[in-house]
Amino acid sequence: MNLVERYLHAVGRRLPAKNRADILAELRSHLNDTLEERFGGQASEEDVAELLKETGEPTKVAASYTGGRQYLIGPELYPVFRMVALIVLAATIGGQLVAIAVGLLAGEAHAAGWNAWAGLVNSIPAALGSVVIVFLILQHFGVNPDLKEKEAWDPKTLPAFEEDEKVKPSEQIVGIVFGSIFLGLLAAFPGKIGFITFPGGAFYPDPVIAQYMGWIILALLAGIGLNVYLLWQGRWTTGSRVAQVAVNLLSIGVLVLLYQGHTAWLAAHGSSGLFPSLVKFGEDIAENIQVLGMESFRLAFGIALVVTVVDTVVELVKLVRKSLRKESVPGN
Amino acid sequence: MKTQNQNEQLDNLSQELRRGALPLAVLCMLQENKYGYALIGDLTAAGVEMDQGTLYPMLRRLESQGLLQSSWVVDGARPRRYYVISPQGREVLASLSGEWQKLSRVVQSLLEQIEK
């Protein structure tokens, strides 16, 4: 094959299939015209090589036709992509490590086996791959909320700068990672959230958690979604504070259901009050431990409930304070 | 070393200056059908240096924007792709030419001010 055809083949390999034949035909025509004019159809291989050198490396020539779009995720989306990829990676690895640890504590031999570790290694490219696919779609449809030029943009709509309005990324990342770990656990061990009497002993799934599983997952997803949004925006707004309060109210609702569910279960098993088992023990040791376990879960949900209520009150105070300040600013 | 840097700088700046004018020159030259190789010759003769690596992608871009029309013609030894300005291209050329003259006047008057 002559040098020109070898050159065209090398260029063609780097061109999009759509216009390849057309671009190559034109380039071939140009090269032959040049050769004919310079050497009158008597070009030696050296002459051809000289012309091709002048024309440029195949990679560069091909790149000049592709308009420079030789990337999967553009510079506008890349910072968000990197952040989301790191979070997903942390959540994937963290979630599985916790799952392995829980499996080990629960005495499930397969949890520590080769398969568990292989699964962990395999999940990394799968998780990253999913993030890449999502961003490829965003890139393809030109979704680019940060840098997209808005019509009739008004500088006066820039948010006022207040120190407490800045979102602290660490808080959101911790929220996302822990939320994802809990979700991962619920997904990995459906119906297996409960307690064991002693290492290797009988396992009691918590019936109340299983009953409200859908609500728990919904509350976790809402929390994770809001955290991702806040991380993306970087600043608190009235809207996101209202959303935070709404997510908190949902969590409070779910926690109340869980707390009451446990109380009802304990009452049905002959216990009432805060720590009845300390006062009265039945004769069946296994049942006593079950009651103790359910009390511990109830205590954990109770603490979570108090923390969430306090957090919600703080958010509400901030929201009210902010709206009062807004009204007191002259001209607003 | 410093002069080499300065030369590079000058090269880059004048390249940048020329880059914006090239589509204008190409649209001017394509009032009648021409194929790429002949167009490069005409541009060179008119004083516009432009290599094939710049010209052919630009011709494609201008065509995809609807400013040029092209067709393959087989006459003589080999097929050639001929380009010509489109009606939309003529409109754009008219506006661009106005822009160019305005810019040229403004820069000229700025340069005259420092010469005084």
Instruction: Provide the pLDDT for residue A202.
Output: 65
Per-residue pLDDT, averaged over A205-210, amounts to: 80
Q: Do B77 and A32 touch (CB under 8 A)?
A: yes
Instruction: Provide the pLDDT for residue A29.
Output: 92
Tokens 């957090």 correspond to A311
Q: What ipTM is given for this predicted complex?
A: 0.85
Tell me: the pLDDT tens digits for A121-148?
888 888 889 889 888 888 887 776 555 4
pLDDT of A281 > 90? The answer is no
Instruction: Provide the pLDDT for residue A237.
Output: 79
pLDDT of A163 > 90? The answer is no
pLDDT of A278 > 60? The answer is no
**A/B interface, count of CB pairs below 8 Å:** 44
pLDDT of A307 > 80? The answer is yes
Largest Cα span, chain B: 58
Interface test with B, best of A28, A29, A65 (most B CBs within 10 A): A29
How many beta carbons lie within 10 A of that of residue A120, not counting itself?
Answer: 16
**CA–CA distance, A251 with A249 (Å, rounded to integer):** 5
Instruction: Provide the pLDDT for residue A332.
Output: 39
pLDDT of B106 > 70? The answer is yes
Confidence of residue A7 (pLDDT cuts 50, 70, 90): very high
**CA–CA distance, A274 with A295 (Å, rounded to integer):** 8
pLDDT of A227 > 50? The answer is yes
Q: Which of A68-72, A167-171, A235-239, B69-73 has the lowest mean pLDDT?
A: A68-72
Confidence of residue A117 (pLDDT cuts 50, 70, 90): confident
Torsions phi, psi for B46 (to 5 deg): -80, -5
CA distance A37 to chain B (A): 10
Q: Name the token pair of B78.
A: 């080999």
Confidence of residue B33 (pLDDT cuts 50, 70, 90): very high
pLDDT of A149 > 70? The answer is no
Instruction: Provide the pLDDT for residue A5.
Output: 93
CA distance B56 to chain A (A): 8
**What's the mean pLDDT when you consider all of chain A?**
79
Tell me: the pLDDT tens digits for A28-80?
999 999 998 898 878 888 999 999 999 999 988 988 887 656 678 888 788 88
**What's the mean pLDDT when you consider all of chain B?**
91
Per-residue pLDDT, averaged over A198-218, amounts to: 75
Q: Do B60 and A19 touch (CB under 8 A)?
A: yes
Q: Name the token pair of A105.
A: 């504590």
Q: Do B37 and A33 touch (CB under 8 A)?
A: yes
Contacts of B52 in chain A (CB under 8 A): 27, 30, 55
Instruction: Provide the pLDDT for residue A331.
Output: 43
**CA–CA distance, A89 with A82 (Å, rounded to integer):** 10
Torsion angle defined by CA atoms of residues A224, A230, A231 and A234, in that order, rounded to the nearest 10 degrees: -170
Q: What percent of chain B has pLDDT over 90?
A: 72
Instruction: Provide the pLDDT for residue A90.
Output: 80
Per-residue pLDDT, averaged over A17-32, amounts to: 92
CA distance A213 to chain B (A): 55
Q: What percent of chain A has pLDDT over 70?
A: 76
Q: Tell me which of A331 and B115 has the higher pLDDT.
A: B115
pLDDT of B112 > 80? The answer is yes
* From B37, B53, B79, residue closest to A64, measured CB to CB: B53
Q: What percent of chain B has pLDDT over 70?
A: 98
Q: Name the token pair of A150.
A: 């808005």
Helix (H) or strand (E) holding A30: helix A17-39
Helix (H) or strand (E) holding A116: helix A114-140
